[in-house]
Amino acid sequence: MSIFVDKNTRVLVQGITGREGQFHTRQCIAYGTRVVAGVTPGKGGQKMDEVPVFDTVRQAVAATGANCSLIFVPPPFAADAILEAAEAGVSVIVAITEGIPVMDMLKVKNFIQNKPVRLIGPNCPGIITPGACKIGIMPAAIHKPGGPIGVVSRSGTLTYEVVHQLTGQGIGQTTCIGIGGDPVNGTNFIDCLEAFEADPETRGIVMVGEIGGSAEEEAAAWIAANGTKPVVGFIAGLTAPPGRRMGHAGAIVSGGSGTAEGKIAAMRQSGIEVCEDLGTLGEMCARVFG
Amino acid sequence: MKIHEYQAKALFGRFDVPIPAGRAAFSVDEAVAAAEDLGGYPVVVKAQIHAGGRGKGGGVKLARSREEVAKVAGEILGMTLVTHQTGPEGRLVKKVLVEQGLDIAKELYLSLLPDRGSAKYLVMASEAGGMDIETVAAETPEKIVKVWIDPLIGLQPFHVREVGFGLNLPPAAMKPFTRLLTNLFKLFVELDCSLVEINPLVLTADDRVLALDAKVNFDDNALYRHKDILDYRDLDEEDPLEVEASRHNLNYIKLDGNVGNMVNGAGLAMATMDIIKRAGASPANFLDVGGGASAEMVENGFRIILSDPNVRGILINIFGGILRCDVLAQGVVEAARKTRVNVPVVVRMEGTNVEEGRRILAESGLNLTSAVDLKDAAAKVAAIVK
């Protein structure tokens, strides 16, 4: 089992003919993902390898039955691409694009709120169900199929590090999902925790957060009230100075809120096993989930 | 991106948000001329730096005559202003804003920001103006009015009434306040601001409402559609190494430790800094070379780290996904050959093409220490800087 996507998910790629789009589409296909269509306005009728390209998402959905969109469109056009996918009726949108203006994402978030669509990202590595499908840019080889651990993270390469250590301990993953490092994103920690909680094959969860905002604190409160599965947590940014944006637009400690200390305390209070030394996270998981 | 108060006020003027008459001056003579042109005393002379708390640090002074303007402008221009936001080293003041003094009846607070938690616009206002809003929030939270605005409908008249009545404005000030907030909101949305803050917003004895201060920050991700705003960037207010890094599209933040580090990905970069700290050392920087870094970017990153004189060792931590380990290794080798590397370098690589990357480093003949995993890397770095 897995959450949000599986081997039957029919993926279309917006921005498929760009450099990034092409490269990662090929990687996804090589992993076994069913990429059924691509969209690049003005290039309808062409093919990217064997994948038919359409001018609009609506055409692609009508012709191929795609139900998930993977977005590589550059920041100035990305919000529009997300809205187009939502209006065309796909049920999952994975937005990889980094650098979308906050004002654009505010409109997107409010627009899709009452639609039957899940947005993952933006500014994220995507989602992978090891052994079944990879809808994103993560390196496939580090993952281990078969579960039993679900991984949810705000970061990209930090997630790879965590997954690598899990696999190194012989611990497989059900689904690994990157929710993105932007202040306004589609899917949050709680959405993923709920889904992992409901997935019978997921027996434990690793939650990777970072400074800024209050998503980790809210997730911790949700776990305290609803969680039945063991959770290991990690927060990046203990040494980050206040008021500086640490790479991710969302990673900023402002007005004393969003600190790593506050998040770690909230997580511990909710019964989450918090790892403070990333070098030993795999070992800790082996102990907690073993 | 941050801008100065006088620049923010120029934008306010453009959007018809009332401000006191005044203008920026870069010398004592210019300050005196600006004051004379205002046509009456007192005037206020305000230091222009990108930090709050200027008044307490002695950067804002009242002048009642031409002579006093010359005196206080002379004191402020060229001073190193230390506030709670500048750090102990302070900031050199190179320009002042000379403004008309006002007959103030009441000081208020007003700000607009995108609220990440609710995904709405947030208007915050308070009758307790002139003081730090964090203090007001902590001590008298009931004095803060918060109104959330759905970005799909934007500011509506009822929102303005909720803020205006929440501020207990006198009836005569309601109309000018409505105009001010409506125009300010337009500025906030059109210019992709990450914060617009007026503290204090003043109510005058004759029921006018004006922005006595102005703080405007912009969403860096949206600057591509505001080329004119980019002209407001003041490189004097930024760390020279950070300016150099931004020229190469590198995400670099200077810190005060002695272990330089280069990482791909912001989350992993923060975690790497934390690991350095846990090992008993202290990070000299944050540097995210990004997912799609080229050998040239890696080289530039390396050079920037090395130009920080505090750096006594370097940790390179790369989890190769899109950025392949062989590309990284080439960049490191190039950089090490071109720059004189006079400190030990620990390299930890994992992921795509890692064997090829390790081979390139091993065959380079450079004095690099390899680490097998993060734990190992941290220990090796700590041993070096001890």
Are the CB atoms for B70 and B32 separated by under 8 Å? yes
- Considering only CB atoms, which chain A residues are within 8 Å of B287? none
Which one of B114, B117, B275 has the shortest CB-CB distance to A214? B117
* Sheet of B60-63, strand order: B22-25, B96-100, B43-47, B60-63
Contact residues, chain A, for B278 at CB < 8 Å: 276-277
Partner-chain contact B219 A102, CB within 8 Å: yes
**pLDDT for position B286:** 96
Predicted confidence at residue A1, as pLDDT, reads 63
Window 230-289 of A: residues touching B by CB (8 A cutoff) are 234, 236-241, 243-251, 255-256, 260, 276-280
Distance of alpha carbon A29 from alpha carbon A135, whole angstroms: 9
Q: Collect all residues of chain A within an 8 Å Cβ-Cβ radius of residue B245.
A: none
Distance from CA of B223 to the nearest CA of A (A): 9
Q: Is B8 helix (H, G, I), strand (E, B) or coil?
A: helix
CB A16 within 8 A of CB A27: no
Share of chain B above pLDDT 90, in %: 70
Which one is predicted more confidently, B231 or A245? B231
Question: Which CATH number fits the domain B1-19+104-237, given the four candidates 3.30.470.20, 3.20.20.70, 2.30.30.100, 3.40.50.2300?
Answer: 3.30.470.20
A76, A236, A244: residue with CB nearest B267: A236
Instruction: Output the six-digit token pair for A153.
Output: 């993270």
Record: contact B221-A75, CB cut-off 8 A: yes
Alpha-carbon distance of B247 to B229, in angstroms, equals 17
Domain boundaries, chain A: 1-123, 138-290
What's residue B29's pLDDT? 97
Hey, what are B361's tokens? 């480093």
CA count, 13 A, side-chain hemisphere, A70: 35
Helices (H), B116-170: 133-139, 157-166
Whether B2 shows a pLDDT value over 70: the answer reads: yes
CB contact under 8 A, A102 and B194: yes
* CB-CB neighbours of B36 under 10 Å: 14
CB–CB of B375 and A160 under 8 A? no
For residue A230, which of A163, A168, A166, A287 has the smallest C-alpha distance? Answer: A287
pLDDT digits 0-9 by tens, B261-308: 999 999 999 999 999 999 889 999 999 988 667 778 888 998 899 999
Average pLDDT per block of 10 residues along chain A, 290 residues long: 89 96 95 97 96 98 98 97 97 96 97 95 96 95 94 94 96 97 95 97 97 95 97 96 84 83 96 95 95
Dihedral sign (CA B206, B207, B208, B209): positive
For the four alpha carbons of B187, B93, B242 and A264, in that order, the dihedral sign comes to: negative
Helix axes A260-269, A215-226, angle to 10 degrees: 0
Confidence of residue B329 (pLDDT cuts 50, 70, 90): confident
Long-range contact list for B227-235, CB < 8 A, 24+ apart?
Answer: B229/B1, B229/B3, B229/B191, B232/B1, B232/B3, B232/B4, B232/B7, B233/B1, B233/B3, B234/B3, B234/B4, B234/B50
B29 CB-contact burial (10 Å; exposed 0-12 / middle 13-18 / buried 19+): exposed
Note whether B119 contacts A241, CB cutoff 8 Å: no
Cis peptide before B42 (omega within 30 of 0): yes
Q: Which residue has the tokens 């306004």?
A: A184
User: How many Cα neighbours within 13 Å face the side chain of A176?
Assistant: 34
Interface mutation target, options B268, B275, B353, chain A, most CBs of A under 10 Å: B268
What is the distance in angstroms between the Cα of B64 and the nearest Cα belonging to chain A? Answer: 36
B109 is catalytic: yes
Convert the pLDDT of each residue in B132-154 to its tens digit: 787 888 888 888 999 999 999 99
Task: For chain B, report the end-to-end CA distance as a whole number of angstroms.
Answer: 37
Cβ neighbours of B255 in A, within 8 Å = 239, 241
Strands B259-263 and B43-47: unpaired
Quick: pLDDT tens for B241-264: 999 998 998 999 999 999 999 999
Q: What is the DSSP letter of B149?
A: E
Residue from A24, A143, A164, A248 carrying the catalytic annotation: A248
A-chain residues near B288 (CB < 8 A): 247
Give ∠ CA A224-A229-A230 in degrees, rounded to 5: 85
SS (H, E, C) A12-70: EEECCCCHHHHHHHHHHHHHCCEEEEEECCCCCCCEECCEEEECCHHHHHHHHCCCEEE
Q: Regarding beta strands B96-100 and B104-115, do their DSSP bridges make them parallel or antiparallel, or are they unpaired?
A: unpaired
Inter-chain contact B219–A76, Cβ cutoff 8 Å? no
At residue A75, φ and ψ (nearest 5 deg) are: -50, -45
- A290 — contact with chain B (CB < 8 Å)? no
CA distance B272 to A239: 10
Supply B205's token pair.
């004895």
What residue type is B179 in one-letter code? R
Query: Angle at Cα B159 formed by Cα B154 and Cα B165, nearest 5°?
Result: 160
Task: Tell the burial category of A159 from Cβ atoms under 10 Å away from its Cβ (0-12, 13-18, 19+).
Answer: buried
DSSP secondary structure code for residue B201 in this structure:
E
Q: How far is CA A70 from CA A59, A137, A148, A249, B221, in A?
A: 16, 10, 26, 21, 21
Q: Smallest Cβ distance to A101: which of B152, B192, B264?
A: B192
Catalytic residue from among B5, B107, B197, B299: B197
User: What's the burial of A30, exposed, middle or buried (CB within 10 Å: 0-12/13-18/19+)?
Assistant: exposed
The answer to whether the CB atoms of B189 and A109 lie below 8 A apart is no
Q: Do domains A1-123 and A138-290 have the same CATH topology?
A: yes
B328 backbone dihedrals φ, ψ, rounded to 5°: -60, -50
A159 token code pair: 């997630």
Overall CATH class of domain A1-123: alpha beta
CATH of region A138-290: 3.40.50.261
Tell me the Ramachandran region of residue A270: left when phi exceeds 0, alpha when psi lies from -120 to 50, beta otherwise: alpha
Biggest CA-to-CA distance, chain B: 79
Cβ A75–B266 below 8 Å, yes or no? no
- Inter-chain CB proximity A277 and B269 less than 8 Å: no
Q: Which of B6, B109, B232, B252 does the annotation list as catalytic?
A: B109
Distance from CA of B135 to the nearest CA of A (A): 10
pLDDT at B198 over 70: yes
CA distance A65 to A12: 9
Out of B114, B116, B270, whose CB is closest to A246? B270
Considering only the beta carbons, identify the residue of B151, B283, B319 that sits closest to A239: B283
Determine the average pLDDT of the residues in B201-223.
96
Q: Identify from A157, A167, A207 which residue to disrupt to test chain B contact, counting B C-beta atoms within 10 A and taking the largest count.
A: A157
- Could A157 and B286 be called an inter-chain contact, meaning their C-beta atoms sit closer than 8 Å? no
The residue length of chain A stands at 290
How far does the CA of residue B119 sit from the closest CA of chain A (Å)? 5
8 Å CB contact of A125 and B274: no
Distance (Å) from the alpha carbon of A243 to chain B's nearest alpha carbon: 9
Are A110 and B189 an interchain contact pair (Cβ–Cβ within 8 Å)?
no
Nearest CB to A160 within list B251, B282, B319: B319
Domain locations in chain B as residue ranges: 1-19+104-237, 21-101, 238-385
Provide the pLDDT confidence category of residue B378 given band limits of 50, 70 and 90. confident
- Kindly report the nearest CA distance between residue A148 and chain B, in angstroms: 23
pLDDT of B359: 92
Superfamily of domain B238-385: Succinyl-CoA synthetase domains (3.40.50.261)
Mark yes or no for CB contact B278/A181 under 8 Å.
no
CA R_g for chain B: 25
Question: Do B221 and A75 meet the contact criterion of CB atoms below 8 Å apart?
Answer: yes
Q: Domain B21-101 is in which class? A: alpha beta
Instruction: Give the distance from residue B366's alpha carbon to the nearest chain A alpha carbon, in angstroms.
Output: 26
B372 Cβ contact partners less than 8 Å away, ≥ 6 residues apart: B348
Transcribe A268-289 into DSSP letters: HHTT-EE-S-GGGHHHHHHHHH
The CA distance from A197 to A222, in Å, is 11
Residues 6+ apart with CB under 8 A from B376: A279, B348
Q: What is the DSSP letter of A148?
A: E
Q: What is the DSSP letter of A110?
A: H
The reply to whether residue B373 touches residue A139, judged by beta carbons under 8 angstroms, is no
CA–CA gap between residue B358 and residue B8 (Å, rounded)? 51
Chain A, nearest residue to B350 by Cα? A161
* CA–CA dist B123, B145 (Å, integer): 8
The CA distance from B91 to A272, in Å, is: 43
Q: What is the pLDDT of residues B62-79, one digit of tens each?
A: 999 999 999 999 999 999
Q: What is the DSSP string of B241-300?
A: HHHHHHHTT-EEEE-SSSEEEEESSHHHHHHHHHHHHHTT--BSEEEE--TT--HHHHHH
Q: What is the rounded CA–CA span in Å between residue B298 and residue B296?
A: 5
B98 in helix, strand or coil?
A: strand
Q: Per-residue pLDDT tens for B101-124?
A: 999 999 999 999 999 989 999 999
**Which among A210, A240, A279 has the least Cβ separation from residue B374?**
A279
| Rounded distance between C-alpha atoms, residue B32 and residue B285, angstroms | 43
